[in-house]
Amino acid sequence: MSLSVGDAAPDFDLPGTGGRSYTLVEFAGKSVVHVFYPGDDTPVCTKQLNSYNDGLEQFANLDAHVLAISAQDVTSHEGFSGKHGFAFPLLADVDKSVAGAYGTLGPLGFPRRSVFIVDGDGIVHYAHRAIAGLTYRPVSELVDELEKLTS
C-alpha cells in the first residue's frame, strides 16, 4: 500500500511507553506527526528523536502530537526513551503492520525512516519516506507544514 497526501490515515492500536496503548483516533481534532524510525539506540535515530524532543514546544504550540513508531518492543523503547528523556511516546509496531499500512517498509521488509503529518480530520497532509536512512526531516520543515494546517 502506498499512502499519499489526501488519503485517510489508517488507525492503529499499538502499545507504547508510559504503560499504555495509543490509537490515532484518540487524537481526533489534533494534528499528529508520525515518525517511523528504524531502531532504538542507533546513531541517526537518536539524533532525529532528540531533535524532535528539543523542538517539542514548537509542535505543542501548533496543537500537534509526536508519535514515534518502530519495530522494537516496549521494553526496548522504555530504555531508549528513559536514557534520552523523550517527552513523546515511542510505539511498538513489532509485527510491522502499521509500517506496512503506511507504506514505510523497504523491499526486504526493513523499515524506512519516514514522517507523516495527519490533520485533525485523520487525513494525511504530509508524507516523506526516505530512500536512504541517513537523513531525517528537520523540525523547521515539519513546523512549516503544520502551520499550513492552521492558516
Active-site annotation, residues: 45
Q: In this structure, what are the phi and psi dihedrals at residue 48, rounded to the nearest 5 degrees?
A: -60, -55
Which residue in this structure is represented by grid cell 507504547?
A: 16
Burial of 144 (0-12, 13-18, 19+ CB in 10 A): exposed
Ordered strands of the 90-92 beta sheet:
20-23, 13-16, 90-92, 64-70, 31-36, 114-118, 124-129
Task: Retrieve residue 130's grid coordinates.
Answer: 526516505
